[in-house]
Amino acid sequence: MRLELRHLRIVCAIADNGSVTKAAAALGLAQPALAAQLKRIERTIGGALFERDRHGARPTALGELVLARARVLLPAMQGLEAEAARLASDRAGLRSYRIGAVNGPILGGLVHRIAAEHPEAVLTTHTSWSAVELTELLAAGRLDYALIGICGDTAPPTAASPLGHGLEREMTWRVVAVDAVFVLLPENHPLTGKDEVDLADLADTHWVATPGDGCLRSCFAAACARAGFTVRNIYEGDVRTCVELVEAGAAAALCQSSFRPPPGLVSVPLTGTPLSWRHLLGWHPEAPAAHHASQVVSYASAAYQDAVTRLPHYGRWLACHRGFGTQGA
> How would residue 83 be classed by pLDDT, with cut points 50, 70 and 90?
low
Nearest to 267 by CA among 230, 217, 317: 317
pLDDT tier for residue 300 given thresholds of 50, 70 and 90 = very high
Give the residue-averaged pLDDT of 296-314.
93
- Residue 97: CA count within 13 A, CB half-sphere: 25
User: pLDDT at residue 172 above 50?
Assistant: yes
pLDDT of residue 278: 94
pLDDT bucket at 89, cuts 50 / 70 / 90:
low
Residue pLDDT, tens place only, 193-233: 889 999 999 999 999 888 887 788 889 989 999 999 998 77
Which pLDDT value is given to residue 82?
67
Residue 160 has a pLDDT of 57
The full set of domains in the chain, from first to last, is 5-59 (1.10.10.10), 86-329 (3.40.190.290)
* Mean pLDDT of the 76-93 span: 64
State if pTM tops 0.75: no
pLDDT mean over 91-113: 84
Q: How far is CA 53 from the centre of its chain?
A: 31
Tell me how far apart the alpha carbons of residues 61 and 47 are, in angstroms, rounded to a whole number: 10
- Mean pLDDT, the chain, whole residue set: 87
What b/e sequence results for 161-175 when a residue is b if at least 16 CB atoms lie within 10 Å of its CB, and e otherwise?
A: bbeeeeeebbbbbbb
